[in-house]
A and B are shown apart, each in its own frame.
Chain A
């Protein structure tokens, strides 16, 4: 959680300093949900398709910080080599597909990864998970993907972070059911609700959903309620979020709640937490510095082909490079 927050604070400053091209999208306020899911999964066995606000979950699942800074800063050494940026990154060979922007589209992809494992006879004990926003539950892709997973009874966990807004659009313009978790019943999948600002609640509820899926209970849907504590992206001040929502229970900062929980339950002392913060700030600084020193992509070095197959007779239309 802390790694996600501290890294993203750094990304925000880099963006404001004009050091990042394109958008920066933060998971501020959603770290408890995301990190809990990432922690409940086992890299090497499970699959995780993170979305826009899952820096914390990515890190918890095992993505090194350098993958993030390289992708945001356009290093050729990053997993996307400057061909895609920011949150649109992944390591599909390590069970973490690279999201496309189109919302809802990852649900069926994770279902397919699990389906492959069933065909290969190695599904037992595995889980696939993806996160999604309240807005993305309105897409056809979400519906098709979850329904397909339910038919196949795949061990898929879909965590819906209901942060009350999709960009600027509030829940009441997005869906008409009283609570999104009601949809789980319609799909024939397990349904859970959790206070997304409460880390310990997330650990127990999301952990339980993952456990049920792992044990053969079919798809599970968790709806976490919280508030996005940033704009949609760093270009957006989120001024449309009413003041009441910010002071409401769900407007509380999950990181502060988590720190209190750690201290109250004697999992850590305040001093230890401060030491973690210092250590993480240092790690982040190093990941940024390293990515900044690395080469950016060179249009002359690119092969400019989107296919892995080379067709001997294919002569692509030649185009000079001006840069």
Chain B
């Protein structure tokens, strides 16, 4: 028996619906149809009047969730693809994210963003928007990379009183399997050393953790021991774990699937440079997707995002200083 990443997301939602009356699910095609990726399969039958199809109105979906949260509910909103949350951007960053600061009343809603690229998905079904949301004050931004994190971080995220942007990677949905949903269950805000090493630190999150581990595996034959840090949540950012790792290795590469201008990798490099400059033996490096829309053709797509090959290349450069 094995569980996939998307099973974990479905299971977490089922548990939440079963145990917390305040939770309801709202999103396009999520009721009878079970969602574009089947993350809510069977839930509408089990929980009638708790799982609702939404009109194609991302702005109103989030506005509605904010109103429901004001009145004591804990809505989970499924965006059909992270990319379409751009239509809800205003309600997310201006309504939900400012509410606690302005009024003192927190808004416990969770927005699930099916994120990241898959072959053939093209410019509008492939985006990674964590950096954009992390830039705004008032949001918690989660980027689980493991089956167990997908499960526990969704449960823990919904339990938070603040708005949560839960970035789930579409490539991991069915590709990533685990024996069980249980894991170390670290708290939100704590990063994990996925793979210990001593020559360089790769900071990654979401699907890029797996690409980084593959790259690290390959470099073993050259005698390099690469440490991989999985951020788990990009906001809050566990700078302590990152600095402790860089203190051991003296070298940093930050890897992300989002566009290269600014974003999570830039934040990681900036924070380490600011707070741990003395720990660095080499200039910290970043590896991101390219500065174009995400291309459709698998050949272009594979060259657009970081891969084990490009991560190895970046690491070799980092280790050569």
Cβ-based interface call for A176 (8 A): no
Cβ-based interface call for B122 (8 A): no
Cβ-based interface call for A239 (8 A): no
- Complex interface: chain B residues within 8 A of A110 (CB): 67
**Option from B60, B75, B138 in Cβ contact (under 8 Å) with A147:** B60
Cβ-based interface call for B103 (8 A): yes
Cβ-based interface call for A102 (8 A): yes
What is the total number of residues of chain A having a CB less than 8 Å from a CB of chain B?
48
Cβ-based interface call for B16 (8 A): no
- Complex interface: chain B residues within 8 A of A107 (CB): 60, 63
Given A100-B95, A105-B90, A315-B240, check contact A307 B64 (CB 8 Å).
no
Cβ-based interface call for A20 (8 A): no
Quick one: CB contact mask for A95-115 with B, threshold 8 Å, 1 for yes?
A: 001101110011111111111
- Complex interface: chain B residues within 8 A of A120 (CB): 71-73
**Option from B60, B140, B190 in Cβ contact (under 8 Å) with A145:** B60
B94 to A, closest residue via Cβ? A100
Do A116 and B189 touch (CB < 8 A)?
no
- Complex interface: chain A residues within 8 A of B68 (CB): 112-113, 115-116, 119
What is the total number of residues of chain B having a CB less than 8 Å from a CB of chain A?
55
**Whole-angstrom distance between the alpha carbons of A144 and B237 in the complex?**
35
Given A97-B67, A313-B236, A313-B240, check contact A116 B73 (CB 8 Å).
yes
Do B63 and A112 touch (CB < 8 A)?
yes
**Whole-angstrom distance between the alpha carbons of A140 and B56 in the complex?**
12
Cβ-based interface call for A323 (8 A): no
Do A148 and B64 touch (CB < 8 A)?
yes
Cβ-based interface call for B188 (8 A): yes
Looking at A91, A140, A306, the one whose CB has the most chain B CB atoms below 10 A away is: A306
Do B101 and A314 touch (CB < 8 A)?
no
Quick one: CB contact mask for B192-219 with A, threshold 8 Å, 1 for yes?
A: 0000000000000000000000000000
Quick one: CB contact mask for A146-164 with B, threshold 8 Å, 1 for yes?
A: 0110010000000000000
**Whole-angstrom distance between the alpha carbons of A106 and B95 in the complex?**
9
Cβ-based interface call for A92 (8 A): yes
**Whole-angstrom distance between the alpha carbons of A140 and B89 in the complex?**
12
Quick one: CB contact mask for A283-305 with B, threshold 8 Å, 1 for yes?
A: 00000000000000000000001
Do B103 and A92 touch (CB < 8 A)?
yes
User: Which residues B87-110 have CB closer than 8 A to chain A?
Assistant: 87, 90-91, 94-95, 97-106
Cβ-based interface call for A42 (8 A): no
- Complex interface: chain A residues within 8 A of B100 (CB): 306-308
Q: Which residues of A contact B (CB under 8 A)?
A: 79-81, 83-84, 88, 90-93, 97-98, 100-102, 105-117, 119-120, 140-141, 144-145, 147-148, 151, 305-309, 311-315, 317
